[in-house]
Amino acid sequence: MSTLERLQSIAQNPARVAERWKADGGKVLGYRCLYLPEEIIWAAGMLPYPLYGTPEPVGLADAYFQSCTCEFIRNLFDHALSDRLAFLDGLALSNTCDVVRRLYDMWSRHVPATPVYLVNNPQKLLGEANRDYFMEELRRFRARMEEIAGREITDDGLRDAIALHNRTRALLRELYALREQDPPPLTGAEALEICMAVTVLPADHADGLLTELLAELRGRQVEPSDGPRILVTGSMLDHPALIRMVEEEGGVVVIDDLCNTSRTFWHRVEDDPDPLTALYRFLNSRALCACMHPVEARIEHVLELVDTYRVDAAIDFNLKYCHPFLYEAPLLKERLEAEDIPVTVLEVGHDLSGHGQLRTRIQAFIEMVSV
Amino acid sequence: MSIEGALRYYLGTGIGKGVLRFERLRNEWRLRHRAPKTSSPFSPPLSTSPWLKELISRHYLTGRYADAHRKVAWVTSGAPVEFLKALGYYLLYPENHGAVCGIRRRGEELCQAAEEAGYSRDICSYARTDLGSLLSGRTPVGRLPKPDLLLCCTNICQTVLFWYRVLAAHFRVPLVIIDTPFIYSTAPAHAVDFVQRQLELGVETAERVAGRSIDPAELERVTRRSREAVELWMRVLERARHVPAPITAFDEFIHMGPIVEMRGDRATVDYYRALLATLDLRIARGTGALKQERIRLIWDNLPIWYRMRGLSELLARHGATLVASTYTNAWGELAALIDPSDPMRSAARVYLHPILNRGTGHKLDTIQRLATDYAAHGVILHSDRSCKPYSVGQMDQRERLSARGIPALLLEADHNDPRAFADEQAENRIQAFLEMIPS
């Protein structure tokens, strides 16, 4: 089995990684989304485990969340209610959207076996007016993680965790740099699976695999394609089906800007004598999700990606009911179109239903931009 | 801010105010002399209603001319506005404008205008109404003044953050965001410090835009009037504890206009004082808002603006009415936290604690407390498609209320988009619910 295939198989069943870690006597700390540092969890000796959903229709969670709320969150809550997340020793959420805040509420009431913690991060980033506040939130998060892990998090431990995670981020940046090539040596669907696998793996283990993977991909022979180079953006896609669909219809997905792919590793933690300050600066610089402010930072970032990856067209996969991205879509579209980048905004469900209709729209879009 | 602008402002608002005063006097005269409808299940309208109409119309009338002569800020309904008032800004509330459009049945058309411009039908119908109005230039209030400043406080939802970014991109004016951390129990000191720091920075921006500095004495005066109005509003609401209730939540949804839009104004204090006196008179005479009150209900969430009359008539046919709501209560419950002698610190605390910035457990407790205090027989939980922070958790709340012996109905609708409301189905469900309530 090639390294790529190994990573793909992990992405198909990420829970196996957590269960194995658990079987070896470790603790697993689930989390979502971008605005809490996995370094703190790692430095507490726990496995930071980002939660991914499964493309199934919502079930049990429908008794707690209205049907017009985020399907991804409802799907995660389904997992929790049906004991599929029983391996978690805790869940940490960051303050992103209204529905995540309510997930915190519902989780604390109805999943008492798994303690849930909210890192109440500010939503207004970049400026340092939030510094004292955010630092205190991070100190509290650190203390809570120490409690759950039952051990102290030392500054040295944090520094090591930062160095380790920075290495993983650098390797993923290297991987993504390969996609600047024409044709790129890996598909967009593969890149998504690699990201999913790497984010659930223990960081020290992921690094080795990524190094092997890079060597493997550098030697890979790929057929040239004259399809348009596509940027995929949106909140999260935790299944490769949609990106695969774009590629089946002739698009070449050269870059993705998603909460579970490039946003997780685009920035690195810069050095600071105080590791917590370093983490604060890192999180505060990452205004890449539409939940955060200022949105211009995110739009500029997308425009840079368009430039670096020589993008011909963009697809905005908007998860249904994902408000931050729904509001932002017209703004982003306008800015990209001003740069002569055609954009299509597609509202997509979290399960795989409705894909037939999406295929027709993707087909039409690719045809339009290929002319 | 030219001489011509000043002339237009004073002339336009001056003549308009005269017309509105005349209308109010005429309406008051009519109210006094009109024979009450014997067939109506309702008592005659509150005698202060013409005054309220004048107050709200005058606010929008001033708005029409405001940008010719004054600085204008568009603000969210939960935003700390006292410092803007003290700096002489005219304040426009897009949410209230949305509600006005809803009441006048313009919501659907304006929502559609926003949808045509690429805004999803799944986003808040206030935002769609407002953006639709902005993009199409259509509004039932004549004209909205252009803002010089936008003030957005996330203590009611995060939607406002996303919505106001769109406004900022459209108008290209400074956007002040007061980012309020979520509070599950009580606010920790570092959260209050954070909000206070943002308020101080917000004041700096507002001063720069206004081209003048804030007068601390004026800020204290405005804050004092805010507190006075909020306290009076709370007393108005509490009058409905009386059986029969002299005022219903349907009335309150309209009468809340000044506490939201004109908090900090002398006129608001005067109005609520008069309203209170009217309610006391009703109580002394034993007059209820409903002639035959049999079932008393609590309402949770925003009203369904475009079906207010229909719903109140439907309930009234069964001798039922709304005696309190978490929504109108939200503008009164924080009165005790307002401290005019320390306006910034107390504003930071007050504006962190609205019901929507807190956990669902807090809301459940509030509903239960209201049910007890207002001797209610049941609760209607309006599951508002447009308001996630208000609505998520209601399914759980319904179960918990029922377990505590308080019947609760989950009514699916949307506060401003009638397309998300099925009349017949809603009517059947409400009827079935009312029949089930022992009274």
Query: Rounded to whole angstroms, what are the CA distances from B336 to B84, B226, B228?
Result: 22, 11, 10
- Helix-strand-coil percent breakdown of chain B, rounded to 5? 60, 10, 30
Contacts of B60 by beta carbon, 8 Å cutoff, 6+ apart: B100, B141, B142
pLDDT of residue B35: 82
pLDDT in tens, A202-252: 999 999 999 999 999 999 999 999 999 999 999 999 999 999 999 999 999
Rounded to the nearest angstrom, the minimum Cα separation between B158 and chain A is: 6
Judged by CB atoms closer than 8 Å, whether chains meet at A327 and B122 is answered as no
Closest Cα in chain A to B200: A129
Q: What value does the mean pLDDT of chain A take?
A: 96
Calculate mean pLDDT across residues A28-53.
97
Tell me if A324 and B166 make a contact (CB, 8 A cut-off). no
Q: Which residues of A touch B360 (CB under 8 A)?
A: 102, 105-106, 109
What confidence tens digit (pLDDT) does each residue in A246-304 have?
999 999 999 999 999 999 999 999 999 999 999 999 999 999 999 999 999 999 999 99
- Report pLDDT for B37: 81
- What is the percentage of chain A residues whose pLDDT exceeds 70? 100
pLDDT for residue B38: 82
Nearest CA in chain A to B157: A98
Average pLDDT over residues A172-196: 98
For residue A59, pLDDT beyond 70 = yes
**A61 interaction partners in chain B (CB closer than 8 Å):** none
Given a cut of 90, whether residue B36 has pLDDT beyond it is no
Least confident range from A343-347, B184-188, B263-267: namely B184-188
* Statement: residue B185 has pLDDT above 90: no
Element (H, E) at B75: strand B72-75
Q: What is the pLDDT of residue B439?
A: 62
User: Residue A125's closest chain B neighbor by CA?
Assistant: B179
Residue of B nearest to A102 (CA): B392
Judged against a pLDDT cut of 70, whether residue A186 lies above it is answered with yes
Q: pLDDT-based confidence at B29, cuts 50/70/90?
A: very high
pLDDT at B1: 63
- In chain A, residues with a C-beta closer than 8 Å to the C-beta of B165 are 293-295, 327-328, 331
Contact by Cβ (8 Å): B12, B64: yes
What value does the mean pLDDT take over residues B352-364?
Answer: 95
Rounded-to-integer distance, Cα A326 and Cα A320, Å: 8
ipTM for the predicted complex: 0.95
- Chain A: nearest CA to B320, how far in angstroms? 27
* Structure confidence at residue A352 (pLDDT): 85
Q: What is the mean pLDDT of residues B38-46?
A: 92
Q: Give the model's confidence band at B338: pLDDT under 50 very low, under 70 low, under 90 confident, else very high.
A: confident
**Residue B179 to residue A122, Cβ atoms within 8 A:** yes
Q: Nearest chain B Cα to A334, which residue? A: B118
The C-alpha torsion from B23 through B27 and B29 to B30, rounded to 10°, is 140
pLDDT at B438: 77
What digits encode the pLDDT tens for the residues B411-422? 999 999 999 999
Q: What is the pLDDT of residue A159?
A: 98
Q: Are B278 and B48 in contact (CB under 8 A)?
A: yes
* pLDDT at residue number A131: 98
In the stretch 144-203 of chain A, residues with CB closer than 8 A to chain B read none
Helix (H) or strand (E) holding B323: strand B320-325
What integer pLDDT is reported at residue B332 of this predicted model? 87
Contact A323 B159 (CB under 8 A): yes
DSSP classification of residue B175:
E
Length of chain A: 371
How many other CB atoms are there within 10 angstroms of residue B188's CB atom? 17
A-B Cβ pairs (cutoff 8 Å, strict):
128
Q: How far apart are CA B229 and CA A34, in angstroms?
A: 42
Digit-coded pLDDT (tens) for B280-302: 999 999 999 999 999 999 999 99
Q: Which helix (H) or strand (E) holds A323?
A: helix A323-338
Q: Which residues pair with B380 in a beta bridge?
A: B299, B409
Q: Which residues of B touch A295 (CB under 8 A)?
A: 165
With 80 as the cut, is the pLDDT of residue A156 above it? Answer: yes
Gap from A17 CA to chain B (nearest CA, Å): 32
